[in-house]
Structure 1
Amino acid sequence: MSLTTLLIQAMATLGGLGLVIGIMLIAASRVFKVETNPLVEEVVEVLPGANCGACGFAGCADFAERVVEENAPLDGCPVGGFETAKEIGGILGQDVSEAEKEYPYLRCNGGTKCVDRFDYVGIEDCTAVIMLSDGEKGCNYGCMGRGTCVRACPFDAITIGDDRLPDVNKNLCKSCGLCIEACPNDVLMFAKDSEKVHVQCNSHDKGKAVKAVCEIGCIGCKICEKNCPEDAIKVTKFLAEIDQDKCTACGICVEKCPQNCIEMR
């Protein structure tokens, strides 16, 4: 048998095998085909496609499926915002009302106003710093300023300023909350624009210990609590907390605070 004949037979065999496998794959795809709800595909089309997980699901496709089939909230995509929620509502025939926008707020104003216990040299990461003797800052509750939140933000909305504190650019922020989840000291929280008064401290240390390390920390003196005409402030574990539902932004607490740690914005 010539070499040419062998090659022709081999090619024919491979071609036939490929044809058989192709037919089997087509048959398998039809047998095992998973029917998808066309509404899910429509919802996926209007989503931003960030796949950031800020909605609490694995990605945009998973969120779309949950919205259509499991009644997940239509406004559950913080990146897309109200416009995306409205489009989803149009697809599903549901009305959507616009909720007030929330942004990450830093409840710490220590930064350069808080003393350092030692000079840290190592990975620029807040968690890494905290693992080393509870952090370099004199206050264990405050912002470490090493940019973990910056790297967690997929929209470049956060920068670290000269005061060694994160600054949130509202024009870029999508309120996805990934920075809040990433912060190891829980100094970032969501706050509405209508909430004008905030305590810029996260420390539960006693007043003497706070004053020893921070110029602006809350010392739990209760002056704000005693002077609030709306009973909107309570001091719990040496830290003032504001009930935003009661607060009328009268500014008395801001004026009375001896540490200047309550902000009117």
Structure 2
Amino acid sequence: MRVPLPAAFLSAPLAHRAYHDRSLGRPENSRGAIKAAIAAGYGIEIDLQLSSDGVAMVFHDEALDRLTARTGPIKHHTAAALSQIKLRDCDEPVPTLAEILALVAGQVPLLIEIKDQTGTMYDTDARLEAATATLLATYQGPVAVMSFNPHSIAHMARLAPHIPRGLTTSAYDPTDWAPLPPQTCDRLREIPDYDPTLSSFISHEAADLPRPRVTELKTQGAAILCWTIRSPVAEAAARKIAQNVTFETYAAALPA
């Protein structure tokens, strides 16, 4: 069953990794950034990684190094341990998805990106997808899931068929995506998994929005989002094709 993306996701711009600003003490994917997005009236995009004990954590990177004072893969730590690791530039620890769902509580649209757990875009063990589906089973409010890894979205179609799902998509320049094999880049570039996963939207790399395949999907009824917009000029250009943007580093205009 293909579940349409709710109209709310095509209205207010989506704050990338929430409305983050480290200079103001609200790093990406933090509670502070979530609260700021809600207060501003923006939709929110967040990222998920998996703890060693199977808990969905709201965190972008595979490793802790960039965003905390610790090092090494996030997947080597339990959720309890991660709850003691502070994010840089604030006093908040790495949050769980359960905590963020309770904080958002349906106030604004929430777009959840399930990060690839394989490093290769191969099939996953579905642990992160299962943890996500369990938490979303009782969530009330506009929510959707997406991933660069189409296998993750295939798992979500099975585990949470009522949740709108889509693919995060890209030009897949092999130089940018190394060590992903060039042949994998070639395949994913043409978005062949949209129909097999019964997706209803894509979130596409902004610079690559003119790709014919994007136009084809839009013509067929796919909702088109994009990533990541960093200025009003770039937003205006993206909106010639995309129906909404994921933004950061500026205050995107809200609909009148």
TM range (shorter): under 0.3
TM-score, normalisation: structure 1: 0.23
Higher relative contact order (CA closer than 8 Å, sequence separation 6+): 2
TM-score, normalisation: structure 2: 0.23
Larger Rg: 1
Decide which structure has greater strand share: 2
Decide which structure has greater helix share: 1
